């Protein structure tokens, strides 16, 4: 039986970027527009928060990814920069930090852009995409962003250009296919993926939201299970959908108490818990005040599905430390 529980008593303006830490058994997630990163331990409900000070290209914090071999280091999307922050496990429950290094800044042609979703591929590279400033959810200047790859030698490359609202990422367990969402296309795409080079090609559509009669739902964050099925957060949709990408069909829907579902990840001791973030953006102040599920973070169990441990950023630590001022 499927069970949905709100993970914390708090709710968040724009919860995003859930990431399960295998070693320390905590959930990382961000509150993008507040510039906060949260760390929650489900086993004992311990909760820690850092606020990242504004960087040279903005104050939004769109994702946080741990660095392999250095658990206190996180690479975050800070405005339209990729930045390194340090957050020790024994830090106070609340803390304000400044970026230790700016690794790269992008999209100089569009200074109001910001990073959105980011994730590590099977080889430990970071893939992270940008978007223009929104006037409402999903309403923004088109084709101003791009999907970037931060390689393990700290070089950066453009994977896909002319993106509007870069979002969910996932790779199959064979490391031959990358799945990707540009939200304003209302579609989920697949690419051939070369694990050795990090190159992608042969873009094709896995699911067209309009053709699938998903109404005004916007595809947002995404993860994959160990059978190769995609689990996609539906902004405006009150739900997560499960897709068989081999046939391009929705095979399951999971209803959530929040309307604006933003992202998903597998976690827990056996990776059978689906952690889900949501947003209050676009919801009335009265609704937010009276309904604490809006902007909540949820743990969904009983799905009969499992994911796999995520990959950390596999950078040479001496190279990374050389970037610190």
Q: What positions carry a catalytic annotation?
A: 220
19: left (phi over 0), alpha (psi -120 to 50) or beta: beta
* Residue 24 in marked binding region: no
**N-to-C CA span, the chain:** 52
Nearest to 129 by CA among 200, 38, 26: 200
The radius of gyration of the chain from alpha carbons, rounded to an integer in Å, stands at 18
* Residue 167 in marked binding region: yes
* Residue 252 in marked binding region: no
* Residue 116 in marked binding region: yes
* Residue 113 in marked binding region: no
* Residue 182 in marked binding region: no
Report d(CA 141, CA 145) in Å as an integer.
9
Is 272 buried (19+), middle (13-18) or exposed (0-12) by CB count in 10 A? middle
User: 152 is written with which tokens?
Assistant: 């393990």
Strands (E), 151-247: 156-163, 166-171, 177-182, 187-193, 200-208, 218-224, 230-235, 239-244
Q: Which residues are annotated as a binding site?
A: 16, 114, 116, 134, 167, 220
Q: Which residues are annotated as a binding site for a divalent metal cation?
A: 16, 167, 220
Q: Which residues are annotated as a binding site for substrate?
A: 114, 116, 134
């Amino acid at each position: 039986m499927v069970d949905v529980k709100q993970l914390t008593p708090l709710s968040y303006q724009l919860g995003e970027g859930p990431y399960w830490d295998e070693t320390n058994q905590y959930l990382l997630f961000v509150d993008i527009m507040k510039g906060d990163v949260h760390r929650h331990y489900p086993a004992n409900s311990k909760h820690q928060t850092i606020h990242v000070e504004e960087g040279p290209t903005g104050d939004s914090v769109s994702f946080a990814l741990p660095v392999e071999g250095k658990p206190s280091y996180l690479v975050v999307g800070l405005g339209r920069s990729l930045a390194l922050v340090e957050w020790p496990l024994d830090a106070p429950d609340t803390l304000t930090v400044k970026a230790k290094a700016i690794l790269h800044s992008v999209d100089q042609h569009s200074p109001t852009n910001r990073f959105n979703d980011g994730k590590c591929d099977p080889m430990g590279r970071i893939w992270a995409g940008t978007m223009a400033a929104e006037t409402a959810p999903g309403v923004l200047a088109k084709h101003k962003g791009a999907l970037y790859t931060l390689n393990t030698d700290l070089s950066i490359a453009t994977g896909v250009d002319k993106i509007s609202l870069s979002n969910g990422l996932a790779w199959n367990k064979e490391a031959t296919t990358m799945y990707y969402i540009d939200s304003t296309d209302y579609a989920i795409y697949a690419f051939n993926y070369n694990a050795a080079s990090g190159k992608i090609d042969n873009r094709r559509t896995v699911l067209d939201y309009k053709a699938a009669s998903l109404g005004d739902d916007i595809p947002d964050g995404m993860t994959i299970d160990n059978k190769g099925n995609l689990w996609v957060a539906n902004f405006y949709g009150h739900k997560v959908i499960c897709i068989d990408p081999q046939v391009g069909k929705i095979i399951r829907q999971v209803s959530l108490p929040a309307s604006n579902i933003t992202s998903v990840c597998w976690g827990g001791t056996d990776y059978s818990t689906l952690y889900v973030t949501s947003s209050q953006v676009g919801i009335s102040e009265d609704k937010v005040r009276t309904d604490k599920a809006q902007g909540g973070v949820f743990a969904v169990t009983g799905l009969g599905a499992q994911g796999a441990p995520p990959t950390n950023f596999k950078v040479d630590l001496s190279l990374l430390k050389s970037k610190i001022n």
